[in-house]
Structure 1
């Protein structure tokens, strides 16, 4: 009887030792993962910072952040103004890309709206002009006001990515390149702007610089419309690549690389929090829309003496389309398609 008790006690002790060993291994792995993440983050950040040294630009970006009047999301949907920036031959900054990215963590949905840079809108205190003039005259804050004035959409945060930074970020995510099916031959050289695009058609792996050229190309029959379409395609492909198993372990390094190249009103803590939320509740796809919206009589090309060639828009139609898409979860293009099919069946 006593012998049986001793056996039971020994078994219990072994189980406790195994449980402690298991917990110790888990904690050790967790500590290693944290240490690796921190190391990767700082390695990526230091490598990026070593390539950037522009005190004047840093001061300008600090002023942008101080001027930006961010509002707090009220329904869990965060609207982030994404701006792709380069400089002309005189060093003047300009926005080649204007997007609104919405992340709805409560419903695991991500949306992306591209606003064409030639869209003719009313810029507060400046009057009507191309929407990218708002950024040139007043940075992200004036652009935020312009979007609110014309489309009644609140912007909560902004992020400005220079194109050099975009290429480095892509190369960090995918050192072997991003697979893209280039639909046509793309050749263009802008020596003043430092842009050279030389792509052959077909499926191929593009480096960060090549992918940037693919996204920026507009010297064909589609012009800016094709560029906006490709930009949205690139964002979707990058999302898929970032969430692949091989890339997930690089997330800390990607964030570290990204931060020096991205100017934003968000703190590093906020960026990390959004990244973790996005990774743990990944949306199945990124829903996309373009402004002017692709509906009949939504826009028309016009030339003005003060603004050049612009896209005048049906303001009410585009405002409603954007509000339906971001706030109500209604895609105006799908709704229009459904109405057309219904009419044809009748």
Structure 2
């Protein structure tokens, strides 16, 4: 018994030393995370955000819809929404679905008659765009996120300092501020934004929307990469000022972790209007527009999102 006691006694200093090392690692990791978070806040102006009017629709099932708005702002007080998407997450199945709405859709905007869909954000911000989509397509919207393109560049460079891998399908440079060549490349924030915005080819805005969806898929994969975990505190800090949203930091983290817990899901994609359900027209007050078969597009959208009629 005495011999065993002496052996255990010899082990205790080793055990204490190991526990001390683990504790120091936790402290160092926590200190690094806090430091990186604060550095992110500094980049984003200490997390100051302007308030935006938004009334969330009631959650009645497993599906949560996030309205994602990309704004081409050059310092103006009011801007049109260059990108409008709904990211739909099924909490039960962990499915992710992404719907892009063409900005030139001829839409009935509540209180303003008919204009291009991207005018709704200019006229009444997030809430009016939400009401327009509610009215046209009868879909609930529970949260929103607004990001301007300059902030997009910065966030990409924080998330993936080595760039985001994208297959560039053709040479492109017109009106995007960068020159991209065909092939698989790791693009930095400015290059990735240029890729997502390119539309000077035969596909026009429809091709641009496809590239935006491709970028969202690539970013989702990059976000889930273990190598980028060290960048997350700084990214979260910067997002406090770069991204306007109704969600708190805790809600954002909870959502990301909930999605990641179920594995990295693929993203199913859809564009409104769907093929064969639209035609082009022009009006003096609105310019060139896309008119759509609203009933067919509403039905197709509900089927895609798995909404009960």
TM over 0.5: yes
Which residue is 2:124 aligned to? Answer: 138
Which residue is 1:309 aligned to? Answer: 288
Which residue is 1:261 aligned to? Answer: 242
Q: Which has the higher contact order (CA 8 A, sep 6+)?
A: 2
Give 5+ residue unaligned stretches, structure 2.
Answer: none
Which residue is 1:41 aligned to? Answer: 37
Per-residue CA deviation, residues 191-249 of structure 1 (Å, 9 max, x unaligned), is xxxx5242222222222111101100111111000000000001111111121121122
Which residue is 1:229 aligned to? Answer: 210
Per the TM alignment, residue 271 of structure 1 is displaced from its structure 2 partner at its CA by: 1.7
Per the TM alignment, residue 10 of structure 1 is displaced from its structure 2 partner at its CA by: 4.7
SS of 2:177's partner is: strand
| Count of residues in correspondence between the two structures | 308
Relative to the length of structure 2, the TM-score reads 0.90
Per the TM alignment, residue 133 of structure 1 is displaced from its structure 2 partner at its CA by: 1.1
Which residue is 1:284 aligned to? Answer: 265
Per the TM alignment, residue 97 of structure 1 is displaced from its structure 2 partner at its CA by: 0.4
Q: Residues 13-52 of structure 1 correspond to what in structure 2 (within 5 A)?
A: 25-49=21-45
Per the TM alignment, residue 301 of structure 1 is displaced from its structure 2 partner at its CA by: 1.3
SS of 1:148's partner is: helix
CA contact (8 A) 1:45 1:257 kept: yes
Q: Residues 181-192 of structure 1 correspond to what in structure 2 (within 5 A)?
A: 181-189=167-175
CA distance in 2, matches of 1:91, 1:184: 36
Per the TM alignment, residue 273 of structure 1 is displaced from its structure 2 partner at its CA by: 2.0
Over alpha carbons, which structure has the higher Rg? 1
Per-residue CA deviation, residues 233-289 of structure 1 (Å, 9 max, x unaligned), is 011111111211211221111111222111111122222222332333343211111
SS of 1:186's partner is: coil
Give 5+ residue unaligned stretches, structure 1.
Answer: 190-194, 330-346
Distance change (3 Å), C-alpha of 1:10 and 1:73 = farther
Could you say what the CA RMSD is over the residues aligned between the two structures, in angstroms?
2.5
Q: Residues 110-125 of structure 1 correspond to what in structure 2 (within 5 A)?
A: 110-125=96-111
CA distance in 1, matches of 2:91, 2:9: 45
CA distance in 1, matches of 2:191, 2:301: 31
SS of 2:98's partner is: strand
1:251 pairs with 2:227? no
| Structure with more of its chain in helix, by fraction | 1
